[in-house]
Structure 1
Amino acid sequence: MSLDKLEQVDVNVDPGEDEPSHTVREDVATVDILLHNSGGTPALVTEVSFTFVRAEAMRECVGLGGPVLVSALYDIQVPADVSAAPFTRSEKITFSVNPNEYDRLAITVGPENIPETALPYLYSIDVALITSGNNEPIDAGRVAIATPISHVDSAIINGQRALGLERTDVDGGPLCVRENFERLQTALDSSEKRSPELLRLHDRYTVLNSFISDRDSDTGPLGNLDWTSPALADPNCSELGLDPRSGPTVYADLTNDGVKDALVTFSCETSTGGYPEYVQLFDGASPTGRPRALADLPLDPSKV
């Protein structure tokens, strides 16, 4: 089975509030099954069965949207309420594979009637096929997917915005982001066949989760940096032919974004000791290993 192929289906968008609904075409998650008929007569697939071993929606940690509802014409339509998992959804089909040939059967799958701003659903699915004249299902394996594809970017934005919240209760903020990461990890661990969208979400939420762990520490995400390294040290020292030295460093959320920043005192080492040059403020929300300087604060040495 492959999960890399996309199919386009009609998606109905209902804005509500007396506005007319309309239909658009969107790429949707597709389970692509490679079939091989090694026999001497045509093989007829009459039914495809999806057993949802695990199904859950990512939590919305920050409110993003309005009342717009979307519904897509998936081959396998899954109820928005997935609390009953495990459950099975089947579709009667007629798909013939000629003798001694290969063919591909593409089945689209996704939730029905969900808000336009809803975050993706995470499915772990056991796929089986029923063929004509054979009462025993053919096990095609297990897949793990995130769908709808069009909602993946919203999930990433939702997680990023949630980390700016002051709240840490179960309804939002970092704990909600961490719960979504754990749901993604569980989906990823359920199968070796994973959709590109699931992998992308997991990668991004892995970063967000590590960001939370760093932020929860005493020093925040910048605490492990060597402030005397050539890439970070006071450039005035090298201009003077002196060795850089970092003095007292304070880690605190000075930019009010929920992440601890670094306030670093830089000195230049001389034969008689060091003297302060200035304090520099670094943004705790900078990319890993590349702290962004926000401000230089000159110091009066007599007041240090």
Structure 2
Amino acid sequence: MITGTIIDSTGSYPDEPTDVGVTPIDVTVRNSGGEPSLISQINAEVLFAETLSDCTFGGAGPALVSANYSVKLPTDANTGGTRLGTTSTETRFEVKAGAVDRMVVTIGPEKQQASGSYPVVVAVRLSLVHDNNETLDAGAVSIVSTLDNAEKQVQGKLDPDCAAKNLQVLDKLFAVQSIRSNELERLRAAYARSAE
């Protein structure tokens, strides 16, 4: 879980704090040098991004959530969808000389629906920039960034036609060579069961 803020886009209600379920990405970093190494930037190249339909028909209101992801992916002001391209975020993660350490990265859209269950699925290629401007490719991952919304779909009664359409979107995502999260696999399995 990470913290976030619910924003009423009509301006009728004040912003309020909330918690958002996320899929953490574990990156193992080894420093084989004799000096501490500082990771100063995370780059995320968005290879695929899509907001899936709510197959539980939970409805959506005017409220949006802005979550405190490590890397916030820009959303399009007109469509609300996550934009393709590379996003960079400053960070400060030190790996001691001769040590192996674990860095946890969370990734998601800068804004997403607060109500209904609209899972956002993304594939990103991560790279880490060291203080000496050397870039380390951390590989590509595919995740569900809005974990609570995905869980509502996995546990809920799904409309078969909607599930079939979401399954087609996930088939495109699964064509991207990447490490896939367990949550994403569970979501795809739920759609496959409902679409039969």
Structure 1-normalised TM-score? 0.57
Any idea what SS the aligned residue of 1:88 has? strand
1:105 alignment partner in structure 2? 103
Select the structure of larger CA radius of gyration.
1
1:188 alignment partner in structure 2? 174
2:142 alignment partner in structure 1? 144
Unaligned runs of 5+ in 2: none
Q: Note closer, same or farther for the CA distance 1:189–1:90 as it changes in structure 2 (3 Å cut).
A: same
Any idea what SS the aligned residue of 2:22 has? strand
Structure 2 residue 70 is matched with structure 1 residue 71? no
**Letter matched to residue 66 of structure 1:** G
Query: How do residues 224-239 of structure 1 correspond to structure 2 at under 5 angstroms?
Result: none
Query: How do residues 171-210 of structure 1 correspond to structure 2 at under 5 angstroms?
Result: 174=161, 176-209=162-195
1:123 alignment partner in structure 2? 122
**Letter matched to residue 61 of structure 2:** G
Any idea what the Cα deviations from partners look like across 1:26-64, whole Å, max 9, x if unmatched? 332222110011111111211110000111111245462
Unaligned runs of 5+ in 1: 1-7, 164-173, 212-304
Structure 2-normalised TM-score? 0.85
Any idea what the Cα deviations from partners look like across 1:56-76, whole Å, max 9, x if unmatched? 111245462322221111121
**Contact 2:41 2:89 (C-alpha < 8 Å) held by counterparts:** yes
**Residue in structure 2 matching 1:55, options 49, 54, 60:** 49
Shift of 1:130: 1.0
**Contact 1:119 1:154 (C-alpha < 8 Å) held by counterparts:** no
Shift of 1:158: 7.1
Q: Note closer, same or farther for the CA distance 1:78–1:158 as it changes in structure 2 (3 Å cut).
A: farther
**Contact 2:45 2:124 (C-alpha < 8 Å) held by counterparts:** yes
**Contact 2:44 2:125 (C-alpha < 8 Å) held by counterparts:** yes
Any idea what SS the aligned residue of 2:194 has? helix
**Letter matched to residue 130 of structure 1:** V
Equivalenced residue count is 189
2:16 alignment partner in structure 1? 22
